[in-house]
Amino acid sequence: MPRHFDPALINDPFGDPGLYVDLVFARRALLFDLGDLSPLAPRKILRVSDAFVTHRHMDHFAGFDQLLRQLIGREKTIRIYGPAGLIGAVEHKLNAYSWNLIQGYEGHLIFRAAEIDKVGSVTSAEFSSRARFERFDAGTNQSDDGLLLQEPGLQIRSAFLDHGEPVLGFAIEERAHVNVWRNKIEAMGLSIGPWLRAFKEATLRGARDDSLIEVAWHDPSPGRAAHLPLGYLKKEIMKITGGRKIAYAVDCSFTDSNIEKIVRLAKDADILFIEATFLDSDAELAKARHHLTARQAGTIGRLAGAKRLVTLHHSPRYKGKGQALIDEAQAAFTGG
């Protein structure tokens, strides 16, 4: 179960956008966008279990070939998610090569592609090396609130943004766990026992702080309370682990609808990775190209209440002036 994310941009902010999220304890990784993947060592690419594609402009999808090149011949299933049209795109990419000798390869490589449309229908298809990457449709189901992946410790949600064409933004959330400090429990004279489960359940369901939890004492001498208030126990023995959130939003314009959707997706995120393509002095150009300015990116981060803002996808016109983009975004982010 992943308890720890380690997110890192794949390229420098002037390079293709892309985020590599190592799920350290799960010994796997997630990829956001398939632009230029060449900075990723092969062992890092082999760790990728799921890739999320915002849209199919080349700087976000051309790296599919690099992924394929590294994985071919491997025993591996990789899931790829993206907006409507993704399955056809994966099919065309795979169809570009001839696979007459692929059946002699030992490793069985499977791509599972899933595309989501604007009403939340998720359609899936599978491409297996054993079938020369022929397409097998795997049905359609309905996603709840853009949810693309849900596992016991992790969930990934998406939202449609407008970039002149539909683009997905993503949020990666780790489930929080309520744990307890055993040493503190013992120091208080309480014993470790089944009552702790009731305590954790009450905490997770948001019970009132004055609700009483039945406790067990190490030495149940008379006069010791059989119940203690939840709020007191939370203060003394509770330890919350995990619950981190990361959001990734690129290629969209500064419209009310986009702002609202990114703010919702990135609400209280620990880190918001967001494009800062133009300087605000070129806001007209940003609007025409359906991109954000650095100032707009910072404003969105502040509205979302994100704890940290990392900007990417700088336009090459500002080469050598990257710090100006970063400074502009951070000033708007901190409200300066």
DSSP structural state of residue 204: H
Structure-token pair, residue 34: 């398939």
Contacts 24+ apart (CB under 8 A), 314-319: 314/13, 314/14, 314/276, 314/277, 315/277, 315/278, 315/291, 316/14, 318/14, 318/278, 318/279, 319/14
Least CB distance from residue 59 to Zn ion, whole Å?
5
Q: Which is nearer to Zn ion, 143 or 296 (CB)?
A: 296
Q: Which is nearer to Zn ion, 30 or 34 (CB)?
A: 34
Least CB distance from residue 162 to Zn ion, whole Å?
14
The residue among 8, 73, 43 whose CA lies nearest residue 312 is 8
Which residue in 59, 126, 173, 282 binds Zn ion (CB under 5 A)?
A: 59
Helix (H, G, I), strand (E, B) or coil at 22: strand
Q: Of residues 107-136, which lie at the interface with Zn ion (CB under 5 A)?
A: none
Q: Which is nearer to Zn ion, 190 or 294 (CB)?
A: 294
Q: Which is nearer to Zn ion, 55 or 79 (CB)?
A: 55
Query: Residue with CB nearest Zn ion?
Result: 251
Least CB distance from residue 274 to Zn ion, whole Å?
12
Find the distance separating the first CA and the last CA of the chain, reported in whole Å.
Answer: 39
Q: Which is nearer to Zn ion, 261 or 291 (CB)?
A: 291
Q: What gap in Å lies between CA 150 and CA 129, rounded to an integer?
A: 26
DSSP string, 36-52: --TTS-HHHHHTEEEEE
Q: Of residues 250-309, which lie at the interface with Zn ion (CB under 5 A)?
A: 251
Q: Which is nearer to Zn ion, 143 or 277 (CB)?
A: 277
CA atoms within 13 A on the CB side of 303: 15
Q: What gap in Å lies between CA 252 and CA 15, rounded to an integer?
A: 17
Least CB distance from residue 60 to Zn ion, whole Å?
6
Least CB distance from residue 65 to Zn ion, whole Å?
17
Beta-bridge partner residues of 142 = 121
CA atoms within 13 A on the CB side of 26: 21
Q: Which is nearer to Zn ion, 16 or 280 (CB)?
A: 16
Least CB distance from residue 287 to Zn ion, whole Å?
15
Least CB distance from residue 250 to Zn ion, whole Å?
6
With contacts defined by CB under 5 A, name the span among 56-64, 144-152, 208-216, 232-240 that binds Zn ion: 56-64
Contact status: 36 vs Zn ion (CB under 5 A): no
Q: With both helix axes pointing from N to C terminus, report the angle between 294-304 and 256-265 in degrees, rounded to the nearest 10.
A: 50
H or E element in which residue 272 lies: strand 271-275
8 Å CB contact between 105 and 76: no
The total number of residues written for the chain in this structure: 336
Least CB distance from residue 55 to Zn ion, whole Å?
8
Q: Of residues 221-260, which lie at the interface with Zn ion (CB under 5 A)?
A: 251
- DSSP β-ladder status, 245-249 and 212-214: unpaired
Size of the site for Zn ion (CB under 5 A): 2
Q: Which is nearer to Zn ion, 47 or 56 (CB)?
A: 56
8 Å CB contact between 278 and 297: no
The residue among 162, 167, 164, 104 whose CA lies nearest residue 132 is 104
With contacts defined by CB under 5 A, name the span among 24-32, 52-60, 77-85, 240-248 that binds Zn ion: 52-60
H or E element in which residue 155 lies: strand 154-162
With contacts defined by CB under 5 A, name the span among 36-44, 51-59, 228-236, 297-305 that binds Zn ion: 51-59
Least CB distance from residue 166 to Zn ion, whole Å?
14
Q: Which is nearer to Zn ion, 173 or 251 (CB)?
A: 251
Residues that bind Zn ion (CB under 5 A): 59, 251
